[in-house]
Amino acid sequence: MNATINLENKHFPVLLNELISIISPLYGGTFIDCTFGQGGYSKKILENKENNIIAIDRDKDVLTTASKFEKKYSNRFKFYNIKFSKLNKIKLKNNDLRGIIFDLGYSINQIKNSKRGLSFNNKGKLNMRMGINDFSANDFISSMDENSLSKVFKIFGGERYSKKIAREIVKIRKSKTIKTEDLVQIIDSVKKYQKTKIHNSTKIFQALRILVNKEISELINALINSFHLIPIGGVIAVVTFHSIEDKIVKFFFKHYSEERNSSRYMPNKEESKKCFKLINKKPILPSFKEVNQNPPSRSAKLRYAIKINQECNFNDFMEKFKYLTDVEELR
Ligand SMILES: C[S@@+](CC[C@H](N)C(=O)[O-])C[C@H]1O[C@@H](n2cnc3c(N)ncnc32)[C@H](O)[C@@H]1O
């Protein structure tokens, strides 16, 4: 018999070796895996019997995998079906937290699940909810005013044709409910002469996924809460997949690892201390080998920092990205 391995639904944990080489000097304690997914990161960390994992994921579909982990690793693994912005609600049993890790984005299971409608290759009702959401993409597309739609497409997707696409959506939705395939068609009809390497719908779908899942405020709150939760000497590591996420993570680590004078957001004239030690100023990228084996990894960037101070004021971080969190509140 010809033994073939079906790799179709296999999730390749991105930048796994790179992540492990960063956190392994801290082994012998608890790590929080904020994006459990199919457990690729957690599994690797649990291979070391001195480690414990607290795993988080907003997606209920990962519960089956999580309960297998709970059986296999019993008291070394605990799972929470919550959004990672709420990680400060977790009760830590021991005082041995060493690292908090994020692998942002979507797992292959989520992309392939047509009911979620995360991909422009899906058909049917617009959805894009990852789990624990208030609204779906259908709610936004069917009710948001033209200006707000255009703003979302422009700011979260960087879409040049945001206005025209928003206008067309508002026109078409008067006569029918816009499904995933209709949205793709609307975008194609507006951008028909565009010859670019990326799919016509990529930017609009990215914008909708960010909006539906409130990815910006999720990330900002999670980073701040991570800082407060992790003890001095602990590491926060984040793998991002698009430029907005990376901009946020880069600012968070870089800005707070520099000695700064008081800024206009800190009127008390106190000289602020560094909050992080930054080992690599540049992000760590996947190797050619990894990109060949797993092409979606090509946009991944890994950044990390070590906490070196107990107190940190994140007002200017929140202020810097308010223009993005404001867009998430448009509805
Ligand atoms: C790229 S996958 C993680 C894959 C994982 N590292 C692995 O090796 O299997 C991202 C996961 O993060 C979850 N996720 C994304 N945003 C989240 C949030 N705000 N809160 C909790 N989970 C989130 C998604 O549901 C998804 O399962």
Q: Model confidence over 6-21: pLDDT tens digits?
A: 345 667 899 999 999 9
Superfamily of structural domain 114-213: Putative methyltransferase TM0872, insert domain (1.10.150.170)
> Atom 3 of ligand 1 has which residue's CA nearest to it?
37
> Atom 22 of ligand 1 has which residue's CA nearest to it?
57
C-alpha dihedral sign at 262, 265, 268, 273: negative
Residue with tokens 């991105």: 14
Report how far ligand 1's centroid is from the alpha carbon of 93 (Å): 23
Q: Is the pLDDT of residue 315 over 80?
A: yes
Given the DSSP bridges, would you call strands 301-307 and 235-240 parallel, antiparallel or unpaired?
A: antiparallel
Q: Is the pLDDT of residue 268 over 80?
A: no
Count CA atoms within 13 Å of residue 105 on its CB side: 24
pLDDT at 111: 86
Is any atom of ligand 1 closer than 6 Å to the C-beta of 150? no
Please give the CATH number for the structural domain made up of 16-103+216-309. 3.40.50.150
Q: Is the pLDDT of residue 109 over 60?
A: yes
pLDDT at 9: 62
User: Mean pLDDT over residues 295-324, rounded?
Assistant: 96
- % of the chain with per-residue pLDDT over 70: 92
pLDDT at 196: 72
Picking from 62-66, 165-169, 272-276, which range would have the lowest pLDDT averaged per residue?
Answer: 272-276
> Atom 27 of ligand 1 has which residue's CA nearest to it?
37
pLDDT at 193: 65
Residue whose CB lies within 8 A of the most ligand 1 atoms, among 16, 58, 64, 217, for a mutation test: 58
Look up residue 90 and give its two tokens. 């977790």
Q: How far apart are CA 251 and CA 258, in angstroms?
A: 11
Is any atom of ligand 1 closer than 6 Å to the C-beta of 245? no
Residue boundaries of the structural domains of the chain: 16-103+216-309, 114-213
Look up residue 22 and give its two tokens. 């960063």
Residue 148 CB burial class (10 angstroms; 0-12, 13-18, ≥19): middle
| Other beta carbons within 10 Å of 296 | 15
DSSP β-bridge partners for residue 115: none
Residue type, 310: Q
Measured between alpha carbons, how far is residue 326 from residues 143, 231, 330, 331 in Å?
18, 31, 7, 10
| Other beta carbons within 10 Å of 285 | 16
Average per-residue pLDDT in the chain? 92
> Are 324 and 244 a contacting pair, CB within 8 Å?
yes
pLDDT at 2: 33
pLDDT at 4: 33
Q: Is the pLDDT of residue 82 over 90?
A: yes
Is any atom of ligand 1 closer than 6 Å to the C-beta of 218? yes
Measured between alpha carbons, how far is residue 285 from residues 92, 238, 241 in Å?
32, 12, 11
| Other beta carbons within 10 Å of 158 | 14
Is any atom of ligand 1 closer than 6 Å to the C-beta of 238? no
Q: How far apart are CA 120 and CA 315, in angstroms?
A: 37
User: Mean pLDDT over residues 279-297, rounded?
Assistant: 95
User: Mean pLDDT over residues 86-113, rounded?
Assistant: 92
Predicted confidence band at 198 (pLDDT cuts at 50, 70, 90)?
A: confident
**Is 16-103+216-309's fold the same as 114-213's?**
no
Q: How far apart are CA 11 and CA 150, in angstroms?
A: 34
Given the DSSP bridges, would you call strands 97-103 and 77-80 parallel, antiparallel or unpaired?
A: unpaired
